[in-house]
Amino acid sequence: MSQPADQPSEGVEAFRARILDKLKYATGKDITSACPHDWFEATALAARDHIIDRWEDAALQIDRSEEKRVYYLSLEFLIGRLLVDNLSNLGLLDTARAALHDLGVDFEEIRELEPDAALGNGGLGRLAACFMESMATLGVAAHGYGIRYEHGLFRQVLIDGWQHEHTETWLEFGNPWEFERSEVSYTVGFGGSVMSTGDNGNSRQVWLPNDTVRAIAYDTPIIGWRRHSVNTLRLWRSRAERYLQLERFNAGDHLGAVAEAVKADSISRVLYPADVTEAGQELRLRQEYFFVSASLQDLLGRHLSHYPLERLPDMVAIQLNDTHPAIAVAELMRLLVDEHDVEWAEAWRLTVATLSYTNHTLLPEALESWPVSLMERLLPRHMQIIYLINAEHIDALRARDIHDFGLLRAVSLIEEDQGRRVRMGNLAFLGSHSINGVSALHTDLMRQTVFRELHGLYPERINNKTNGVTFRRWLYQANPALTGLLVERLGESVLDAPEQRLRDLEAWAEKSGFRKQFMAMRQGNKAALARLVKEWLGINLDTRAIFDVQVKRIHEYKRQLLNLLHCVALYQAIRNDPTVDWVPRVKIFAGKAAASYYQAKLIIKLANDIARTINNDPTLRGQLKVVFLPNYNVSLAEIIIPAADLSEQISTAGMEASGTSNMKFALNAALTIGTLDGANVEMSEQIGREHMFIFGMTADEVNLRRHAGELDMSGLIAGSERLREALEAIRGGVFSPDEPHRYAALIQGLQHQDTFMVCADFDAYWAAQLQVEEYWRQPDRWWRSAILNCARAGWFSSDRTIREYAADIWKVSPSLPPEQG
C-alpha cells in the first residue's frame, strides 16, 4: 500500500530520478537531446507509475469487498488535459514542479504541450468527465465506457470572422495516459438476418450478422482526490476482423483488399459534432451500437466471473448518458435471452432493474429517433426485440383498461407520423427504473412535456439530479490564486471538504482587508487572460474593466445575440455621450458552432464584426472592448473562468437543461447575470437572488407567449428606442460595410419571429446590466457578493451530485474517508 493520503508519495529527488529514467528508457532521450515534448511525456509517465500502484490496489479491493459496480455509458467524455489533474490528485504537483525546475525545465511550458482530450461536444461530455473524477474521489467502484475517437471535436479557426473547422489530432504524438488492452476485445455484429430455430414451444432466435468489427479496449486510469481510489475509463477502438483480404490483394485489387478494414476503422474515427443535421446518420447509429455492445459484453463477462445473472441488478448499475446508448435496452435483452438463455420476462426484469437513463435536453430536434428501415437493416434482431417490448408494453396498458388512442400513440416506441421511426427516448424510459433530469426546472418540464404520458403511467420513475462540477479541476487547478487564499484563511481542510468548509468564507466577506485581497486575486487572473488576448488577437485590455464573459456552444437558445445587442446598445450610448463616466467593460465571447448550423456561424461572424468596429473606434477611448477567442475548449475555459467578473447565463427560460459553466463561474466568484433557467434557479436559491442579476421572462411566461403565437415583436421594438436603434445599426450594415445586407435576414427574424425571445427580453436585460454597473461602482458591495458566490457554491460540487445518484439510483454506498462523507 502507498503512503498516507495527505503525504506526497515521493520526494523531489526520487521523482526527478524517475523522470530521468522515463526520459531515457521510454522516450530514448537524455537531458541534452530532450525536446519539451519529451519532458512532458517523461513527467506524465513518472506520474503514471504512481497511479498504477493505486489502480491495482483499487481493483483488488473492489473484488474483495464485493461492491456493486457502476457503469457510466457515454458517447462523449470531454476530458481536457490530465497532467495537472493527475499530479494534483496524487499530491505530486509541487514535487513535479520542483523536480523539473532542478532539471532546468519550466513546468508551465511543458503542461501546455499536452493536447486536450476533446472527446465531447459540450456540457454533456464535460459532465461525464466531472462525474468520472468525482466517482474516483468518493470511492464509487465505477467504469466509464465510451469511444476512443481518433479525432475529437474539431478545432475552430476563424478566418475573417467566419468559423472554419479543422481536424483535431490529439493522438498525433501518442497518449501517455492510456493503456491499449489488445487482449480485451469483442466482436460486434451488424446487418444480416435472424433465424428461428427449435420447435414452436421452445423456439429461439439466432442473429447471423453479415458484418462484424472488433472493439479493442483502451484504458485510462481516473484517480480520485488524495489518491483515494482509481477507476477506469475504458474507451473502445474499432478494428476490422481481417485487416487485409489477401485473395483480393493477390488478384490485384489493392484498394478492395482493405475496403472492409477502412469501413470498420471508420466507426471510431471521429466524434459527431452536436448537430441536428448530423443526427440520424447511419455511422452514428453504428457508433452507438458498437460501444454499447462491447461495453455490455465486457461488463456481463466481469459479472459472470463472480456472480450468477439473476444477481445482475444487485451487483451492477448502468447509467445511460442521454439516449445515445439507449440501444443498450435491446442489446441487454438480446444478450440475456439469445446468448444466456434467460427467459424473456426475467430478462426484462433484470434489464429494467439494472438500467437508468439521464435526459439532457428537451429540444425537440435533439431527441433521437431512428428510421425503422435503417434499424431493420443494421440491427434486425434488435428491431424484433423492440417490437416485442412495444407489444408487451401496449398490451399491459390495455390490460389496465387504457385505450385512449392519443395516449397509446404518445407512449409507443414507434413513431408513426413522419415515416416509421424508433423513439430512443421512450425506449430508454421503458427500459430503465430511473429517469432523471439535470436540474429541478428541467425535471419538471420533462414531466410536463416530452415524457408527460409515460410519466403518468410510471409516476415514480422520473427524478431530479441537479448537475455539479468537480472542484479539483474548476477551482484548485484552474484558480490556484483563489485556492491559495482559501487555504490561507480556512485551512488546508477546505480542500477535502469544500462543500461544508467554503461556507466559512461568508464571515470573511464582511472584512474589507480580505475583500481587497480577493480583488487582487481576480486582478492577477485577469492580467493572465489579458496577456493571452494580447498574444492571440493583438488587443490590449484594461484589467480594471468589468470582464463580462459568455463562453459556451453557440446556439440561438443560449442567446449570444441578446448579449451582442447589449454590446451594440452600449456602443451607441457611449458614442452619443463619450464624456460620461462610463463603467469600462470588456465583453468576452468564445464557443463553437456546429459545422452546418448556419445561423450559429453567422452569430460568430456578427460578434467578430461588432468587435472589430468597436475596438477600432477611437471615440470610445477604450471604455468598451469586445473579443471573440477562437477554439474554446476545456483548457481555455480554465483560463477564462477564473478571470471573469460577470458570467452570462442568459438562455431563453425553459431551454437550458441545466448549464454547468454557470456553476464554475460562481465557484470562481463571478457574479451571474441570468434568466431563471436550468440550474440558475438552484443557484439563486443557494447563493441568494440579491447576489445575482436575475432578469427576463420565466419558463411559464415564455410558454404562454409561444402558445398565444405572440412572436412578432414589431410593436415592442417600436416602443423601445434603444432596441430599435441597435437592431437598425446591425440591419443597416454599420458593422458589415463590406456587405451591408449580411444581417438583414437575421434582424428580420428577430423582429417578426422572435422564437427565442431576444427582443422580448431585451429591455429587462438592459436594466439588469445597469444594475451590474451600479454594483460595480460600489466595490465593497460587489466584492462582498463575489465572495458570497464562492462561499455558497459548495452545493454545486459533482461530489454532491454523485452521492445523490449513488443513494437514489444506483444503491451503492461510496467508500470514501469519513471527512468527505
Kindly state the smallest distance separating residue 814's Cβ from ligand 26V, in Å.
Answer: 21
Where do runs of H (alpha helix) occur along 404-479? 405-411, 424-430, 440-448, 452-457, 471
Kindly state the smallest distance separating residue 323's Cβ from ligand 26V, in Å.
Answer: 9
Q: Contact, 57 vs 1, CB < 8 A? A: yes
Q: How far apart are CA 349 and CA 347, in angstroms?
A: 5
H-run or E-run covering 166: strand 162-166
660 is catalytic: yes
Kindly state the smallest distance separating residue 659's Cβ from ligand 26V, in Å.
Answer: 5
Considering the candidates 324, 465, 553, 585, report the single residue annotated as catalytic.
553
Q: How far apart are CA 534 and CA 208, in angstroms?
A: 60
3-state SS, residue 105: coil
Helices 758-776 and 560-576 meet at what angle, rounded to 10?
A: 60
Considering the candidates 228, 286, 473, 558, report the single residue annotated as catalytic.
558
64 is catalytic: no
CB-based burial label for 353 (10 Å; 0-12, 13-18, 19+): middle
Kindly state the smallest distance separating residue 614's Cβ from ligand 26V, in Å.
Answer: 30
Which one, of 132, 136, 129, lies nearest residue 153 by Cα?
Answer: 129
Which one, of 68, 279, 219, lies nearest residue 815 by Cα?
Answer: 68
466 is catalytic: no
- Beta carbon nearer to ligand 26V, 464 or 543: 464
Q: How many CB atoms lie within 10 A of CB 401?
A: 6
Based on C-alpha coordinates, what's the Rg of the chain?
27
- Beta carbon nearer to ligand 26V, 364 or 618: 364
CA-based angle 168:223:35, to the nearest 5? Answer: 50
The identity of residue 577, as a single letter, is D
User: Rounded to 5 degrees, what are φ and ψ at 193?
Assistant: -140, 175
Distance from chain centroid for Cα 668: 19
Considering the candidates 97, 214, 360, 691, report the single residue annotated as catalytic.
360
Kindly state the smallest distance separating residue 390's Cβ from ligand 26V, in Å.
Answer: 23
- Beta carbon nearer to ligand 26V, 278 or 392: 278
Kindly state the smallest distance separating residue 324's Cβ from ligand 26V, in Å.
Answer: 7
- Beta carbon nearer to ligand 26V, 120 or 431: 120
SS (H, E, C) 279-340: CCCHHHHHHHHHHHHHHHHHHHHHHHCCCCHHHHHHHEEEEEECCCCCCHHHHHHHHHHHHC
Kindly state the smallest distance separating residue 85's Cβ from ligand 26V, in Å.
Answer: 20
- Beta carbon nearer to ligand 26V, 209 or 659: 659
592 is catalytic: no
Considering the candidates 155, 447, 664, 792, report the single residue annotated as catalytic.
664
Q: Which residue has the CB atom at the shortest distance from ligand 26V?
A: 123
Kindly state the smallest distance separating residue 802's Cβ from ligand 26V, in Å.
Answer: 14
Q: How far apart are CA 304 and CA 299, in angstroms?
A: 9
3-state SS, residue 212: strand
29 is catalytic: no
- Beta carbon nearer to ligand 26V, 278 or 804: 278
Q: Contact, 777 vs 583, CB < 8 A? A: yes
544 is catalytic: no
- Beta carbon nearer to ligand 26V, 81 or 360: 360
Q: Which residues contact 581 (CB under 8 A, 6 or more apart)?
A: none
Q: How far apart are CA 359 and CA 366, in angstroms?
A: 11
Kindly state the smallest distance separating residue 482's Cβ from ligand 26V, in Å.
Answer: 23
- Beta carbon nearer to ligand 26V, 486 or 699: 699
Binding site for ligand 26V (CB under 6 A): 121-124, 127, 272, 274-276, 278-279, 360-361, 366, 438, 467, 656-660, 678
Considering the candidates 228, 526, 552, 784, report the single residue annotated as catalytic.
552
User: Rounded to 5 degrees, what are φ and ψ at 541?
Assistant: -110, 145
Kindly state the smallest distance separating residue 128's Cβ from ligand 26V, in Å.
Answer: 9
DSSP 542-590: -TTSEEEEEES---GGGTHHHHHHHHHHHHHHHHH-TTS-PPPEEEEEE
The conformation of residue 710, written as its DSSP 8-state character, comes to -
- Beta carbon nearer to ligand 26V, 96 or 124: 124
- Beta carbon nearer to ligand 26V, 351 or 439: 439
**Which residues are designated catalytic?**
360, 552-553, 558, 660, 664
